[in-house]
């Protein structure tokens, strides 16, 4: 192998985007989803990770911006590698953190420029509201929370078990 200048080496490496979201439930086990103004589908509270920002920090920032909440960001529940799709030419690494359990609406203040609405829904209904590639994160997050472990998905599909 030939030595390569660092700037050339790094320029040839794969690049991808990252997003961070929170998995929040109420006391009845319903899951909090938001309906962005700029999308046709619902989503977990969250968004893209900015330059020089960690996924944890991005999740907290997005929750504050979207719903006016400042909550501790819990354990990483799900990592989902989303291959390039549609207009997105790069892969997207999705980090889903445990946001805990909230009683009722927990004094949320919705940013009406960013969100049309939000609500707590039962897991099966959430799967119908979310895009098909995102819906598997519901079961993955529930399972990860129950097992106190992180689940790794590729395009919404569980990775093969370790041998």
Q: What CATH number is given to the structural domain containing 130? A: 3.90.79.10
What's the CA gap between 74 and 59, in Å, rounded?
Answer: 10
Euclidean distance between CA atoms 45 and 61, whole angstroms: 10
Q: How far apart are CA 107 and CA 140, in angstroms?
A: 28
The CA distance from 110 to 104, in Å, is 14
57 within some domain: yes
Question: What average pLDDT does range 33-61 have in this prediction?
Answer: 96
Residue 161 included in any domain = no
Condensed to tens digits (0 to 9), the pLDDT of residues 102-158 reads 976 568 888 899 999 999 999 999 999 999 999 999 999 999 999 999 999 999 998
163 lies in some domain: no
Q: Is the pLDDT of residue 21 over 90?
A: yes
Domain hosting 33: range is 16-156
Write down the pTM of the prediction.
Answer: 0.91
**Average pLDDT of the segment spanning 5-12:** 86
20 phi, psi to nearest 5 deg: -130, 140
Give the model confidence (pLDDT) of 141-154 as tens digits. Answer: 999 999 999 999 99
Buried b (16+ CB within 10 A) or exposed e, 116-130: eebebbeeeebbebb
Structure tokens at 59: 């999740």
Backbone angles phi and psi of 46, in degrees to 5: 155, -170
Structural domains of the chain, count: 1
- Residue 162 in any domain: the answer is no
Which pLDDT value is given to residue 163? 52
Tell me, yes or no, whether 101 lies in a domain: yes
Checking if the pLDDT of 29 tops 90, the result is yes
């Amino acid at each position: 192998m030939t030595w390569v200048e660092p700037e050339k080496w790094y320029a040839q490496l794969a690049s991808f985007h990252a997003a961070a979201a929170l998995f929040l439930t109420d006391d009845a086990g319903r899951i909090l989803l938001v309906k962005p103004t700029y999308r046709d589908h619902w989503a977990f509270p969250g968004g893209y990770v900015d330059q020089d920002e960690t996924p944890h920090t991005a999740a907290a920032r997005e929750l504050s911006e979207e719903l006016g909440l400042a909550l501790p960001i819990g354990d990483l529940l799900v990592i989902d590698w989303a291959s390039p799709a549609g207009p997105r030419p790069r892969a997207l690494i999705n980090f889903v953190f445990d946001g805990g359990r909230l009683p009722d609406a927990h004094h949320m203040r919705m940013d009406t420029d960013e969100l049309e609405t939000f609500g707590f829904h039962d897991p099966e209904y959430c799967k119908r509201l979310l895009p098909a590639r995102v819906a598997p994160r519901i079961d993955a997050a529930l399972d990860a929370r129950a097992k106190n472990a992180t689940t790794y998905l590729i395009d919404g599909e569980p990775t093969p078990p370790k041998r």
